[in-house]
Structure 1
Amino acid sequence: MRPTDHTLKGALDALAAGETTSVALTEAFLDAIGRLNPRLNAFITVTGEKALEAAKASDARRAAGKAGLLEGAPLAIKDLFCTAGVQTTAGSRILGGFIPPYESTVTANLLRDGAVFLGKVNLDEFAMGSSNTTSASGPVENPWSRANDPDTRLVPGGSSGGSAAAVAARLALGATATDTGGSIRQPAAFCGIAGIKPTYGRCSRFGIVAFASSLDQAGPVARTVEDCAILLKSMAGFDPKDATSADLPVPDFAAACGRSVKGLRIGVPKEYRLDGMAPEIEALWQQGLQWLRDQGAETVEISLPHTKYALPTYYIVAPAEASSNLARYDGVRFGLRETAQGSDLRDLYERTRAKGFGQEVRRRIMIGTYVLSAGYYDAYYLKAQKVRALIRRDFEQAWGKVDAIVTPATPSAAFGIEERQDDPITMYLNDVFTVTANLAGLPGLAVPAGLDPQGLPLGLQVIGKPFDEETCFAVGAAIERAAGFTALPRLRA
């Protein structure tokens, strides 16, 4: 086995047994990045020297009997997490050259547990997108390709496309990601890996560049459900620097992966059967439910009646919060500054934001500013918040009948980088199965479960009760075992 073929759990076991070292693993991944990243564009910044120094220090700690939970594991970090002394761009020109003087809480937790950071990975600009084509650093390519059309470059999903592509291509053992409307689960499904958006408040948002503050949540992507559980254990925890952080103990998520699903009631929401749904998506969904029934679970049809309003609600709430959060990028305090001789402050703002923000970010700022403006606040934003409360209530009523909910993760497999780009509404529809979990603050796990007719990966989604990621992991691991997903992308280390 090549070092890059390890799962996170396998690598940690090999390190503990003395079969490899962190330096050897890190060198192997850096070599893989050097060979494949020019094609995939998954990494924006590679921190090779820092990674090797960290790996040497990790090997020394392990030799001294002081190994942490993730001791020596090479990881990729989404370039939305502030990393002390390392450029953090959020995929935007406006933050080009910004080097934070502090560490995000999530990445600090990973470093505390001995992880080695290989570098910062690409994303849709300010996490706004479902394809990783809006980044100022250029689009990310999915390492998978269509069987009958191998030359068409496919999107890895977004906004965490760099994270998912890096893990799928074996450029890292795992990666941090963020999810505002599906930005962990959709890329995981498109790239044939696992990814979990935990309950809102499970992971601190301190040091993560904000998109929509009431929706954003950090989580991991990795090759297996168990790997995600191991990473989430390290990433999660109460943080007094984040007012929305939940002061709750962090369970042993990995132990939950071996839990039986016998006796669990699995909800099947009828509203997720969409007109025109691809037959392979429906077939995989039914197969996933049968796998769970075969392991002793019971499936129960439920109704989430306000699901049909989820997308329009999300695309009012998220841009509104984005327009407020992104107001801080003005060319005065940090990041890009565009000015001209004799220009005034207003001219500085206009030049900087016009040069620094991409088209999708400008579109969402304008939408958000509009729905928050006088005369439209009540008609749009306030009404959207009321519908959001109804969506949350739908789930609360469902939890009286079921223990978890299983749905498709995406409405299709990965599409071409040049496809759908001229139609933002079609792009927004990629989030149709995922936004409800964000609006309700619930955990959602994507699990690779099958292939479409062109050999591209498809995933199923497990939605759980608030702060019940353990049941998500149990159900997700049961699907993973039954699916036996072993297909590999064409481009990989």
Structure 2
Amino acid sequence: MTDLTNLTVAEIRDGFRAGDFTAREVAEGFNANVAAAKALNAFIVETPDKALDAADAADSARASGDLKPLSGVPIGMKDLFCTEGVQTTAASHILEGFVPTYESTVSGKLWAAGAGMLGKLNLDQFAMGSSNETSYFGNVISPWKRNDGGNAALAPGGSSGGSAAAISARLCPAATGTDTGGSIRQPAAFVGISGIKPTYGRCSRWGVVAFASSLDQAGPMARTVRDNAILLEAMSGFDPKDSTSLDLPVPAWEAGLSSDLKGKRVGIPQEYRVEGMPAEIDALWEKGIAYLKDAGAEIVEVSLPHTQYALPTYYIIAPAEASSNLARYDGVRFGLRDLPDGAGLQDMYAATRAAGFGPEVKRRIMIGTYVLSAGFYDAYYTQAQKVRTLIARDFDRAWESCDLLLTPTAPSAAFALGEKQADPLAMYLNDVFTVPASLAGLPAMSVPGGLDAQGLPLGLQIIGKALDEQGVLNAALAIEERAGFTARPDKWW
């Protein structure tokens, strides 16, 4: 029989329904892969029993003809989503041991759709990072290696690095991610999978540990565009518990998939041709343009003049919101409490936060507190909000001449762990292509486009108009079909 862990979500769903295998066989296969892949450090908590329980329920449902959309499909859950009765840490020491008594809306929707949980996936601490090196529980290692004979451990991208590594290594067929400035798209590009950040408000943020509330958005990660469409349908929908949730019906994205782009205009933003961009990224971009032309799209040049300000704007707004959101971690209600002998309340706050937050989280809290402080609020935060409006307006003007945008996902292939750790600015530049869509709240997807000279995956990004996830998925499907990306990492773990 085919190794069931090589199947996509759609293949598992359809094969299970056809009676080709049982849900329990699928769950056991993935549980075994998870247990054998400790070297990747992709999971913080493994939940093999939950995967088996959901599989047994699916097998019973098949016998009674009462199947759900994701019956038989086990997935990984980023450890930013609160899961009832299962530790949720956001990869931070300050939340170590926190076991929620409630379920996040997104994870609850997935379980209600019949999915099973293989475990909680590692990430950058509080989703702050682009390489998965800031987790309290250790670095996630990419399953990929350079083909130059070197054995350097590579970054899987961040913050959803555990999700990316687990899917690429066949530890799960799909996983949830969150994207604040590129945390679904950049790791997807680094490991050769697909991932979509939907329009802001499509997926509820209730029960997701907050980083920057006006930017955070949940989304799926999987090996194919179709799988992302399937997962996104199950995750999306209005939630009265989230004031930013969109009260709109969930489209049938999978049924609407079509790689025929006749009549569509795809914009190429000239400002994304950044100085010093590797020739390989430029060549990949040209390939992507050719793929979309072949699918029937018309290619047009567009301008997004405020792009150069996107990164500094993001690194004012996101830390400002983080400094506000993370004030709740004080040692009083949940998680870590560090209480030195004879200490007062203020001492406990200080000691708990000093011990509980990692260096990158502290750095962003300090930046955020600074830009919100009296005397600097108008100079930094207010200005950044104005520039954010201009960036969103750039996209609105671009939509007058095109329907979608095509850009690279990241300015390079995966780098080695430790390579950029000493220079936060070099690390932040990883998000140069992904941040503008986040600031504007637009749907955007990364899809694998090919390999670089070192044999590492490179991703292409499609950005769409607000609420046009279908257009984004269809363009990504057109690239997927033409790129024919089937590369996978050689097993070393």
Fold shared, TM-score > 0.5 on shorter chain:
yes
Task: Tell me the residue number matched to 2:26.
Answer: 25
Deviation at 1:134, TM superposition (A): 0.2
Aligned to 1:8: 9
Counterpart in the other structure of 1:353: 353
TM-score, scaled to structure 2 = 0.99
Could you tell me how far 1:95 is from its partner in structure 2? 0.2
8 Å Cα contact 2:184-2:221 kept in structure 1: yes
CA contact (8 A) 1:256 1:471 kept: no
Aligned counterpart, 2:113? 113
Deviation per CA, 1:458-484: give whole Å up to 9, x if none: 000000000100000010000000000
Deviation of 1:294 after TM superposition, in Å, equals 1.4
Q: Note the aligned Cα RMSD (angstroms).
A: 0.9
Does 2:350 align with 1:315?
Answer: no
Secondary structure of 2:53 counterpart = helix
How far apart in 2 are the matches of 1:245 and 1:62? Answer: 33
Quick one: distance in 1 between partners of 2:476 and 2:369?
A: 39
% identical aligned pairs: 62
Alignment correspondent of 2:279: 279
Alpha-carbon spacing, 1:150–1:17, altered in 2? closer, same or farther (3 Å): farther
Which structure 2 residues correspond to residues 455-474 of structure 1 after superposition, within 5 A? 455-474=455-474
**Which has the larger displacement, 56-65 or 98-107?**
56-65
AA of the residue aligned to 1:165: A
Deviation for aligned residue 1:293 = 0.7
CA distance in 2, matches of 1:242, 1:195: 23
Q: Deviations for 1:201-245, whole angstroms, at most 9, x for unmatched residues?
A: 000000000000000000000000110000000000000000000
CA distance in 2, matches of 1:416, 1:149: 14
Instruction: Give the Cα separation in 2 of the matches to 1:311 and 1:148.
Output: 33
Q: Give the aligned residue type for 1:318.
A: A
* Structure 2 residue matching 1:299: 3-state secondary structure: strand
Judge which range, 379-388 or 339-348, deviates more. 339-348
Shift of 1:258: 2.1
Cα deviation digits, residues 410-429 of structure 1 (max 9, x gap): 00000001211100000000
- The residue aligned with 1:433 is 433
More off after superposition, 181-190 vs 143-152: 143-152
Q: Which amino acid aligns with 1:487?
A: A
Kindly state the Cα deviation for residue 52 of structure 1 after the two structures are TM-superposed: 1.1
Partner secondary structure for residue 388 of structure 2: helix
CA drift of 1:49 comes to 1.6
Between the aligned partners of 1:368 and 1:10, the Cα distance in structure 2 is 45
Q: How many residues align?
A: 492
Q: CA deviation at 1:490?
A: 1.7
Q: Secondary structure at the match of 1:393?
A: helix
CA offsets 1:291-312 (integer angstroms, 9 cap, x no match): 1111211000000000000000
Amino acid at match of 1:67: L
* Amino acid across the alignment from 1:13: D
Shifted more, 250-259 versus 58-67: the winner is 250-259
Could you tell me the TM-score, scaled by structure 1's length?
A: 0.99
Alignment of 1:183-262 (within 5 A): 183-262=183-262
Q: Is the 8 A contact 1:168 1:492 kept in 2?
A: no
Runs (4+) off by over 3 Å:
none
2:259–2:295: 8 Å Cα contact kept in structure 1? no
Which amino acid is 1:311 matched to?
L
Aligned AA (2:445): L
Amino acid at match of 2:472: C
Could you tell me how far apart the structure 1 residues matched to 2:100 and 2:477 are? 37
How far apart are the structure 1 equivalents of 2:15 and 2:295? 31
CA contact (8 A) 2:46 2:119 kept: yes
SS of 1:196's equivalent in the other structure is strand
User: What pairs up with 1:36-435 in 2 under 5 angstroms?
Assistant: 36=37, 38-435=38-435
| CA distance, structure 1, for counterparts of residue 250 and residue 395 of structure 2 | 23
Instruction: Return the alpha-carbon distance in structure 1 between the equivalents of residues 350 and 209 of structure 2.
Output: 21
- Aligned-residue offset at 1:188: 0.2
User: Which sections of structure 2, spanning at least 5 residues, go unmatched?
Assistant: none
Cα offset for 1:99?
A: 0.3
Q: Secondary structure at the match of 1:12?
A: helix
Q: Is the 8 A contact 1:195 1:228 kept in 2?
A: yes
Letter in 2 for 1:277: M
1:203 partner amino acid:
C
Q: 1:256: Cα distance to partner?
A: 2.9
CA distance in 2, matches of 1:429, 1:470: 29
Decide whether the 8 Å contact of 1:169 with 1:492 is kept in 2.
Answer: no
Stretches of structure 1 lacking an aligned partner (at least 5 in a row) = none
**Cα shift readout 1:177-205 (whole Å, capped 9, x = no counterpart):** 00000000000000100000000000000
In 1, the alpha carbon distance for the partners of 2:296 and 2:438 equals 29
TM-aligned CA distance change 1:150 to 1:25, over 3 Å: farther
What amino acid maps onto 1:270 in structure 2?
A: Q
Structure 1 residue 491: deviation in Å? 2.8
* Cα displacement (A) at 1:150: 4.3
> How has the CA–CA distance of structure 1 residues 492 and 112 changed in structure 2, closer, same or farther, with 3 Å as cutoff?
farther
For the residues of structure 2 that align with 1:96 and 1:253, how far apart are their CA atoms?
37
Tell me the secondary structure at the aligned position of residue 489 of structure 1.
coil
For 2:396 and 2:67, locate their aligned partners in 1 and report how far apart those are by CA, in whole Å.
41
Partner of residue 478, structure 2:
478
Moved more, 53-62 or 236-245: 53-62
